[in-house]
Structure 1
Amino acid sequence: MGESAGTSTLGPATGEALPALPLDAWRPTKETLHRFVQIVGKVALAKGIRRNHWWHMTYRVTARGWSTVPLGTATDGPVFTCDFDFFDHVLRISSDRGTQEEIPLGGQSVASFYGEVMRALDNLGIEVTIAHPTPYDLPDHGRPFAEDEEHHHYDPVAAQRAFHVTSQVARILEEFSATYSGKISPVQLFWHTFDLAVQRFSDRKIELPASVDPVTREAYSREEISAGFWFGDSKVPEPTFYSYTAPEPEGLTELPLQPPEARWVPSGSAHAAYYAYDAARRSADPVGATLDFLHSAYAAGSRLAGWDAPALACPGGITDPVLESPWRGWPE
């Protein structure tokens, strides 16, 4: 079985716009939690109604944690959601039949958590077959979840701090999203890479080589500019805001980014814009500095990709230029 940390190196989240979350302070919990969300994410992949760019299998940030979208279909019930609650520290699986199961997040190894999830689904009358019950793109990708006793750390204070960070970042990404009227994804937590992101799309179809895997083909079937945040990993050992344009237009890295600490860095065969989370925290206006970064990266990518940025603009979430406020015309 797993264990919960008795003492955390992180205190409760403060009222800061962007609370501190150094990677090393919660790495064991992060590695365990990442596999927990992959298990439930694969349930969503199996039971969700497929949406373009895999939007059906991602998480949404709620007031208490991270939740799947409603899963199941009109002919394949029950409808259900899986919610990570970082106040009660449980995974709560609820169905539209009024039934629910709760699985504690503490005291679990990945193996025991996987077994409890499958048992809870069975108790709720939900039939799920996970095609590949192993981690995706992690160092132990060949080991079944059911055999992973290695990852068993869960520090409730650190996990709640990570949730608070995603809650705040999600609000910033929503504010950024409000300025775009074209095709745009939800603000969503991707379980495979464990990052929070939003993607803006153009209508340009992208022809990918036949060798590209099905996951990537669907994710990048249209030209996009992505913006997001990840907690950090072995390659980027600190929490970081990022943005990239796919496909990358020529000359992208020659355009300036804001704030001055932001930079272009190699990323695979292309580049991404990075702005360290802690650099934003140190600024006089962390939210404003982060939005400056996101807008500058979008301006660079959209300009070189030939998007009609003025036509796609949606200042303050308003598409009708006649409106003076979002509430004009609504009944009192």
Structure 2
Amino acid sequence: MELFPPMPLAEWQDTKETLHRFTQVVGKIRLAASVRRNHWWNVPFHLTGRGITTRPMGQVDGNPIFTIDFDFVDHRLVVATADGRTDSFPLLGQSVASFHRQTLETLAALGVRMEIQVPRPYRLADSARPFAEDFEHTTYDPAWVNRSWQVLGQVGLVLEEFAARFSGKVSPVHLFWHSLDIAHTRFSGRVVDPPPRVDPVTREAYSRELISFGFWFGDADLGEPAFYSYTAPEPAHLADDPLTPASAQWIALNDSHLAVLRYDAARSEADPRAAVLAFYESAYQAGAVRSGWDVGRLACPGGITDPDVPTLPL
């Protein structure tokens, strides 16, 4: 597949809406069955060679160790336990309600007792409707789902390369199911005191000064896929700094700004991969310099913290 193939939101929006809710069902299981990590890093999915995975979970909640994987090659949900047992069912032909029911039934058949604390979508238009009552979202086009996973894999490797350039605290490259975006975050180490009325999810996510980088497929606010970056808290005059390439721009978002490089603009560059890396770097430099980070000390050229250590043939 070509690097960054066409991914027009309008062509697969109904499929995306269904898939998004499928991932939220499984994501909430991951939330219930995993040890909590700073900034909610226990919750996102990670990419695999066939789709996305929860990674191993259980044990701390009395359940056997188990994983849930979305297989976007054969288009099945696969549940596996550490003793070697597996069970699966097809993703095609499911409503959100039937997917929710079959997921819990499959877990129960493997001895996993699970109750989703809030069995409704998170921050979606139908967040008041339980998963078990959603018979509306049923569209699942395997070709578009597979392509979306291919794109996530391509972007994920670009983010991994970009992550290697920083020696400070960083997040993994991971897929958040609340907004279906793949992201990587860098931290300065400074503690942030969020406003007292901020919700608990946001408070934990932004408890430290950070600059985040990612990609998402588009939504109601931006109806097309795009690469993005933001600095939190946002320093004064951030949006005055130029971004690279020239097609990138700062977009006003509530009381802050989002650096955006639209996917199709990146695709039109002579070297799309280099253009995305340059975009992330320009957004980082803008946020880090304006926020007073020690950019030189935190740099990690080529993913190496000690340039005097020779490359060893391991």
What's the TM-score bracket when you normalise by the shorter of the two chains? over 0.9
For residue 69 of structure 1, report the CA deviation from its aligned partner. 2.1
Amino acid at match of 1:105: L
Q: Secondary structure at the match of 2:41?
A: helix
Q: Is the 8 A contact 1:49 1:73 kept in 2?
A: no
Partner residue, 1:198: 184
Gaps of 5+ in 1: 1-14
Gaps of 5+ in 2: none
Task: Select 1:250's aligned residue among 205, 230, 236.
Answer: 236
Partner residue, 1:10: none
For residue 17 of structure 1, report the CA deviation from its aligned partner. 1.2
Identity %: 53
Q: Is the 8 A contact 1:263 1:275 kept in 2?
A: yes
Counterparts of 1:295 and 1:99 in 2: how far apart (Å)? Answer: 45
Q: Is the 8 A contact 1:58 1:69 kept in 2?
A: no
Partner residue, 1:43: 29
Q: Is the 8 A contact 1:227 1:242 kept in 2?
A: yes
Q: Secondary structure at the match of 2:309?
A: coil
Q: Is the 8 A contact 2:35 2:60 kept in 1?
A: no
Counterparts of 1:324 and 1:270 in 2: how far apart (Å)? Answer: 43
Which runs of structure 2 are paired with 1:191-230 in the superposition (5 Å)?
191-230=177-216
Task: Select 1:85's aligned residue among 43, 51, 71.
Answer: 71
Partner residue, 1:262: 248
Q: Secondary structure at the match of 1:225?
A: strand
Counterparts of 1:90 and 1:49 in 2: how far apart (Å)? Answer: 26
Counterparts of 1:98 and 1:321 in 2: how far apart (Å)? Answer: 44
Partner residue, 1:169: 155
Which runs of structure 2 are paired with 1:239-318 in the superposition (5 Å)?
239-318=225-304
Partner residue, 1:52: 38
Counterparts of 1:140 and 1:222 in 2: how far apart (Å)? Answer: 31
Q: Is the 8 A contact 2:33 2:61 kept in 1?
A: no
Q: Measured at CA, do residues 74 and 145 of structure 1 come closer, stay the same or move farther in structure 2, by a change above 3 Å?
A: closer
Partner residue, 1:11: none
Count of residues paired in the alignment: 314
For residue 119 of structure 1, report the CA deviation from its aligned partner. 0.4
* TM-score (ref. length: structure 1): 0.93
Counterparts of 1:121 and 1:261 in 2: how far apart (Å)? Answer: 47
Partner residue, 2:116: 130
CA-to-aligned-CA distance 1:108-162 (integer Å, 9 cap, x gap) = 0000000000101111111112110000011100000000000000000010000
Amino acid at match of 1:276: R
Please list every run of at least 4 consecutive aligned residues from structure 1 whose deviation after the TM superposition is greater than 2 angstroms.
Answer: 73-77
Counterparts of 1:72 and 1:223 in 2: how far apart (Å)? Answer: 31
Aligned-CA RMSD value: 1.0
